[in-house]
Amino acid sequence: PGLQSDIKSKKSNPFPPYSPTLSSETIVLETIRKPNGDTLYKKYNKGRFLGKGGFARVYEFTDLETKNITAGKVIEKASLTKSRARQKLMSEIKIHKSLHHKSIVKFEHFFEDNENVYILLELCTNQTLSELIRRRKRLTEIEVQCYILQVISALKYLHAHRVIHRDIKLGNLFLTDKMEIKMGDLGLATKLEYDGERKRTICGTPNYIAPEILEGKGGHSYEVDVWSLGVLAYTLMVGRPPFETTDIKTTYRKIRMNSYTFPEHIPLSEEAKAFVRFILIIEPESRPSLDQILENPFLTKNTIPQLMPASTLAVPPSAN
């Protein structure tokens, strides 16, 4: 059972079972032109609204032939008038399409009609870690271990394919019906042309931004994802990001000085705190590699479950 994203219905029943909507609101038609000149049409039912992003609205899409259900990102072509916006979308599609890993949201299909671009993605019915933290406030260490391991697995795959995600944060980590983590939103990702290439520009404002991006000198590389992983681990344990303040300038100053503390009222093991300190190293060249992080005591001291039970969407695992 999963969670329904409809907030209104949560008042009466906070965790209704997940059920796809087949009541047709709209049929979306994909036109496929075959090499022999024939035209083929594929029909999708555009169902329940799942969420809204920067320039996409996301709905449940059902392939009416196969009954396969996906998350359909609908991007209005009218919003893509600037050539940079088009280029960014094309780059996101090209990178995402090339990725095949169990902890990365599967790119299923891509097509367009006169009005929109449609990106069909693996459906993740249990929302993101952002909603989970909102409900639970913070997670137990066993959950943090379980989720961090899956994120590291996805990052190892990305980096091995010369891809830097550059926007690792709660809202880009989805949960499936089985409670697997799926890394999504490759909107800020970049693929390096060669080993050792340094990236200089970054579009958008990534949330868990690394200090070397703020400094701007010498460019940045894979280590920015490692930094975000440290910020993510802290956020999952504490319930808010380490450098959070009310204004962005102060936050950026805190990041550059690596200035954060662990709140005393939250009981955290020494290993958990040491794990965050191990990752959040200002100099990117001194930051640990993903393999070194995997050997850290926080991830080796006990056995870590592969998946958490769905009950943890609402309550900590110890309450079971």
Q: Which stretch binds ligand ADP (CB under 6 A): 26-34, 117-125, 136-144, 272-280?
A: 117-125
Nearer residue to ligand ADP within complex by CB, 126 or 312: 126
Asked if 185 is an active-site residue, the reply is no
Min CB(246)–ligand ADP separation in Å: 24
> Which one of the listed residues 6, 38, 113, 167 is annotated catalytic?
167
Min CB(135)–ligand ADP separation in Å: 14
Nearer residue to ligand ADP within complex by CB, 54 or 216: 54
Q: Does 121 bind ligand ADP (CB under 6 A)?
A: yes
Nearer residue to ligand ADP within complex by CB, 185 or 212: 185
Q: How far is CA 252 from CA 77, 149, 201, 213, 287, in A?
A: 35, 28, 17, 10, 19
Min CB(5)–ligand ADP separation in Å: 6
Min CB(80)–ligand ADP separation in Å: 12
Residue 286 burial (10 A CB sphere; 0-12, 13-18, 19+): exposed
Three-class secondary structure assignment of the chain = CCCCCCCHHHCCCCCCCCCCCCCCCEEEEEEEECCCCCEEEEEEEEEEEEEECCCCEEEEEEECCCCCEEEEEEEEHHHHCCHHHHHHHHHHHHHHHCCCCCCECCEEEEEECCCEEEEEEECCCCCEHHHHHHHHCCCCHHHHHHHHHHHHHHHHHHHHCCEECCCCCHHHEEECCCCCEEECCCCCCEECCCCCCCECCCCCCCCCCCHHHHHCCCCECCHHHHHHHHHHHHHHHHCCCCCCCCCHHHHHHHHHHCCCCCCCCCCCCHHHHHHHHHHCCCCHHHCCCHHHHHCCHHHHCCCCCCCCCHHHHCCCHHHC
Q: Which of residues 37-66 bind ligand ADP (CB under 6 A)?
A: 50-56, 58
Residues 230, 211 contacting (CB under 8 angstroms): no
Q: Does 28 bind ligand ADP (CB under 6 A)?
A: no
Q: Does 20 bind ligand ADP (CB under 6 A)?
A: no
159-198 footprint of ligand ADP as x/- string (CB under 6 A): ------------x--x---------xx-x-----------
Residue 16 burial (10 A CB sphere; 0-12, 13-18, 19+): middle
**Binder among 3, 28, 69, 71 for ligand ADP (CB under 6 A):** 71
Min CB(315)–ligand ADP separation in Å: 22
Nearer residue to ligand ADP within complex by CB, 123 or 226: 123
Q: Does 122 bind ligand ADP (CB under 6 A)?
A: yes
Nearest to 305 by CA among 181, 210, 219, 211: 181
73 is in an annotated binding site: yes
Nearer residue to ligand ADP within complex by CB, 170 or 279: 170
Q: Does 105 bind ligand ADP (CB under 6 A)?
A: yes
Q: Which stretch binds ligand ADP (CB under 6 A): 82-90, 115-123, 216-224, 238-246?
A: 115-123
Q: Does 206 bind ligand ADP (CB under 6 A)?
A: no
Min CB(70)–ligand ADP separation in Å: 8
Binding site for ligand ADP (CB under 6 A): 50-56, 58, 71, 105, 121-124, 171, 174, 184-185, 187
As annotated, the active-site residues are: 167
The binding site for ATP comprises 73
